[in-house]
A and B are shown apart, each in its own frame.
Chain A
Amino acid sequence: MTARVAVVTFPGSNDDRDALRALALLGAEPVAVWHEERRLPDVGAVVLPGGFSYGDYLRCGAIARFSPAMRAVSEYAAAGRPVLGICNGFQVLCEAGLLPGVLRRNASLEFVCADVDVRVEQTDTPFTEACAPGDVLTIPIKHGEGAWFADGEVLDSVESGGQVVLRYADGNPNGSVNDVAGVVNERRNVMGLMPHPEHAVDPQLGPTGGLPILESLIAAAGARTPALA
Chain B
Amino acid sequence: MKATVLVRPKPGILDPQGEAVESSLRHLGFAVSGARVGRLVELDVDAPDADRARAELERMCEQLLTNPLIESYEISLAEVGG
Contact = CB atoms under 8 A, between A and B. Distances in A.
Interface of A: 58-59, 62, 66, 95, 101-102, 104-109, 149-151, 154, 175
Interface size class of chain B, counting residues whose CB lies under 8 Å from the partner chain? 10 to 19
Contact of B16 (A66, A101, A105, A150): A105
B16 to A, nearest CB: 5
Contacts, number: 29
Contacts of A62: 64, 67
Given A58-B64, A62-B64, A149 B17 contact: no
Interface of B: 13-14, 16-17, 20, 64-65, 67, 69-70
A149 B70 contact: yes
29 contacts: A58-B64, A58-B65, A59-B67, A62-B64, A62-B67, A66-B64, A95-B67, A101-B69, A102-B67, A102-B69, A102-B70, A104-B70, A105-B16, A105-B17, A106-B16, A107-B14, A107-B16, A108-B16, A109-B16, A109-B17, A109-B20, A149-B13, A149-B69, A149-B70, A150-B69, A151-B69, A154-B69, A175-B14, A175-B16
Contacts of A66: 64
Nearest to B39: A58
A106 B14 CA distance: 11
9 smallest CB-CB distances across A and B, nearest first, come from: A102-B69, A109-B16, A102-B67, A107-B16, A109-B20, A102-B70, A105-B16, A59-B67, A149-B70
A200 B39 CA distance: 37
Greatest chain B CB density within 10 A among A58, A62, A95, A106 is at A58
B24 to A, nearest CB: 11
Contacts of A154: 69
B4 to A, nearest CB: 16
Nearest to B20: A109
A102 B13 CA distance: 13
A149 B65 CA distance: 18
Nearest to A100: B69
A172 to B, nearest CB: 13
A149 B69 CA distance: 9
B60 to A, nearest CB: 11
Nearest to B9: A104
Contacts of A95: 67
Nearest to B41: A58
A101 B14 CA distance: 15
Nearest to B67: A102
A105 B13 CA distance: 12
Contacts of A108: 16
